[in-house]
Amino acid sequence: MKLTLEGISKDILTGDRRSLARALSVVEDGGPAAAWLVRKLYGHSGTAHLIGVTGSPGVGKSTLVDALIAEIRRTGDLKVGVLAVDPSSPFTGGAILGDRIRMQTHTLDKKVFIRSMANRGHSGGTALATYDAVRMLEASGYDIVIIETVGVGQSELAIAKTADTTVLVLMPGSGDDVQAIKSGIMEIGDLFVVNKGDLPGAQKTASEIMQSLELSKNESGWHAPVDITNAEVNEGISEVWQHIRDHRDYLEKAGRLKARRRLKMEAELAELVADIARSNLQSSLEHSRQVQDLVTKLVDHEVDPHSAAEAVIQEIFSKTLPPDLCVK
Amino acid sequence: MKLTLEGISKDILTGDRRSLARALSVVEDGGPAAAWLVRKLYGHSGTAHLIGVTGSPGVGKSTLVDALIAEIRRTGDLKVGVLAVDPSSPFTGGAILGDRIRMQTHTLDKKVFIRSMANRGHSGGTALATYDAVRMLEASGYDIVIIETVGVGQSELAIAKTADTTVLVLMPGSGDDVQAIKSGIMEIGDLFVVNKGDLPGAQKTASEIMQSLELSKNESGWHAPVDITNAEVNEGISEVWQHIRDHRDYLEKAGRLKARRRLKMEAELAELVADIARSNLQSSLEHSRQVQDLVTKLVDHEVDPHSAAEAVIQEIFSKTLPPDLCVK
């Protein structure tokens, strides 16, 4: 039986897993169907605690997330959704593989939903699709949504930053810690986890992180904890979960949750606007003779790209304006 | 002595390295100064053969590029520029390190210029900065520009694709080859290099690539060569350079160079337009009460992001239209 968009938008609210799975595919693909679903379900979103988990490949993010799911399920009756996001999918098959393995562990738990996301052609990239995927999970009643970013590029960081609580995962002796400290990436972490804590140097790495956190002025009133874990054997996981909840409490008490979400909303709006501009241009390239001629001039080096972009943006947006606003 | 933009734009044409270095910093930062420089120098650009070199970390891209520079310099009097692009810089220190090491090798050769590029705050990301950086090298008389992408994410691939000739580097037995074949990434390669050819399985990997190339219908009349190299000891490098030149000849004879550059121009225009939209929104977020109210409604879940984006794009672009086009 084929699911209709209308049907999906109703059944997803009851927690139906099949509708949720379809809704996630729809938002991954983007376009009008995705926008329609989000419009319909937006009122039911914004309810989950979003936890971002990021870090270099090999530090054990997936294992940590897995242990975290088990801990969350063990200590309360919360529905847990996981989005494993891999915008760099062309070369790495990590997301899909990890998904399969994990599906086996949690497959019997109907209050856990794990989904790998890669770029499926959404012109705005994986970030925009991820925001909407979170909304689908929220509409379906998930209390906790973990956004695990598999890669380490700019887009992955951007995605991790959309969480309410961002967990930065490192491992001992990789040198990543020092690099991360230098490049200012530490700033995005609300919580630090030194995983593979059985390896030599775990304590040293944790101390280095703590030192650098003390150096960077903390104006927000939150002191980012640094936890040492060995996720393989569930060591340190309950502390991590406690600290994540502490951070959520802090955000709410300090009135910071709304401020954070406002910033995220602004960032999403900027990407959506960029996305609209991009697709308007795409359609102008196909249909407008004027725009095609401009590209010819560009290729012939008669006009430069920056001037052309300024000219073309006027062209494409003057047309989308309502007729009563513009006279030509 | 401080260099003026005017001075840079003149001296760069004489091949002055200091002006070139400054110009590259300017385009990396983006903004009006970058646009001004590109406007000024665009007529002197479009002259180089752009070679993209991409592949997973650890396959030996930098070593290959290094050997290629030596080969190009040995066989002709061509000026070679290298842009080592690392959009994923927050976690990896690769680009900067590689740069230092290589600077030492080619430091005495005044016809080689190597530059690491990471994201320096250009709102349009590293891709837009890279396009303009190529133009600066071209204005400075570089005949060959190698764009080496350090990472493996979407942005890196996008950058690699802007080249006239894209070299995809793999290594034996990494499993990457199979993954790449499956994910359709093979399509972007005009030339394949199996580096670290001394490792077991090199011939097998090369054969697999060749097989998959035969399966994918080749409609362009170009048969992508698959070379086995050991860049560490300069093995196979002259073949790679020969094949790169063959590809350039093919593009020109088949009249495909211009068609390719047109496609690239369209992609760049789309990104520039998206970038303008993004920064217009950013300034509206700061200055327009109407847009700020919209964000409040978004945060309060009174309006959904997709509807808000449509509304705001009309708002921000109606204002940038010339007054004689619009009446409010």
CATH of residue B160's domain is 3.40.50.300
Give domain status of residue B143, yes or no: yes
Minimum distance, in Å, between the CA of residue B180 and any CA atom of chain A: 6
Name the closest residue on chain B to residue A35, using Cα atoms. B306
Give domain status of residue B38, yes or no: no
One domain, residues B165 and B269? no
Tens-digit pLDDT profile for residues A9-20: 999 999 999 999
One domain, residues B215 and B289? no
* List of chain A residues with pLDDT < 70: 1, 86-105, 107, 118-125, 150-157, 160, 174-185, 216-219, 318-328
Domain range enclosing B296: 265-320
Predicted pLDDT at A210? 87
Give domain status of residue B163, yes or no: yes
One domain, residues B147 and B56? yes
Predicted pLDDT at A188? 79
Are B276 and A309 in contact by the 8 Å Cβ rule? The answer is yes
Contact A183 B90 (CB under 8 A): yes
* Number of domains observed in the structure of chain A: 2
Are A148 and A84 in contact by the 8 Å Cβ rule? The answer is yes
Residue where one domain finishes, among candidates A201, A232, A254: A254
Residue reference for tokens 């955000």:
A251
Element (H or E) spanning B148, and its range? Answer: strand B144-149
Spatial CB neighbours of B75, under 8 Å, sequence gap ≥ 6? B238, B241
Predicted pLDDT at A317? 73
Q: Mean pLDDT across chain B, nearest whole number?
A: 83
Query: What's the pLDDT band for B299 if we cut at 50, 70, 90?
Result: very high
One domain, residues B229 and B274? no
One domain, residues B157 and B274? no
CB nearest B269 (choices: A46, A179, A281): A281
Query: What's the pLDDT band for B101 if we cut at 50, 70, 90?
Result: low
One domain, residues A120 and A248? yes
Residue reference for tokens 């009133």:
A221
Q: Say which DSSP state B14 is in.
A: G
One domain, residues B88 and B158? yes
Give which of B171, B272, B284, B290 to mutate to test A binding, by max A Cβ within 10 Å: B272
Residue where one domain finishes, among candidates B208, B233, B254: B254
Give domain status of residue A27, yes or no: no
Predicted pLDDT at B281? 92
Angle of the B31-41 helix axis to the B125-139 helix axis, nearest 10: 40
Residue B229, SS3? coil
Give domain status of residue A22, yes or no: no
Q: What is the mean pLDDT of residues B92-120?
A: 65
One domain, residues B295 and B244? no
Taking CB atoms and an 8 Å cutoff, what residues of chain B touch A309?
Answer: 269, 272-273, 275-276
Minimum distance, in Å, between the CA of residue A89 and any CA atom of chain B: 7
Tens-digit pLDDT profile for residues B113-155: 999 886 554 445 678 889 999 999 999 999 999 999 865 566 6
Give which of B150, B295, B317, B324 to mutate to test A binding, by max A Cβ within 10 Å: B317
User: Is residue B287 scored above 50 in pLDDT?
Assistant: yes
Give domain status of residue A146, yes or no: yes
Spatial CB neighbours of A40, under 8 Å, sequence gap ≥ 6? A9
Predicted pLDDT at A88? 52
Give domain status of residue A199, yes or no: yes
pTM attached to this predicted model: 0.81
One domain, residues B82 and B137? yes
Residue B193 CA to residue B225 CA, distance in Å, equals 8
Predicted pLDDT at B44? 95
One domain, residues B237 and B303? no
A80-86: strand order across its sheet: A112-118, A80-86, A144-149, A49-54, A165-170, A191-194, A226-228
Q: Say which DSSP state B4 is in.
A: P
Percent of chain B whose predicted confidence (pLDDT) is above 70: 79
Predicted pLDDT at B30? 86
Q: Is A34 exposed, middle or buried (0-12, 13-18, 19+ CB in 10 A)?
A: buried
DSSP annotation string for B230-272? BGGGTBTHHHHHHHHHHHHHHHHHTTHHHHHHHHHHHHHHHHH
Residue reference for tokens 């001394």:
B198
One domain, residues B283 and B315? yes
Residue where one domain finishes, among candidates B229, B254, B279: B254
Predicted pLDDT at B57? 74
Give domain status of residue A206, yes or no: yes
One domain, residues A117 and A146? yes
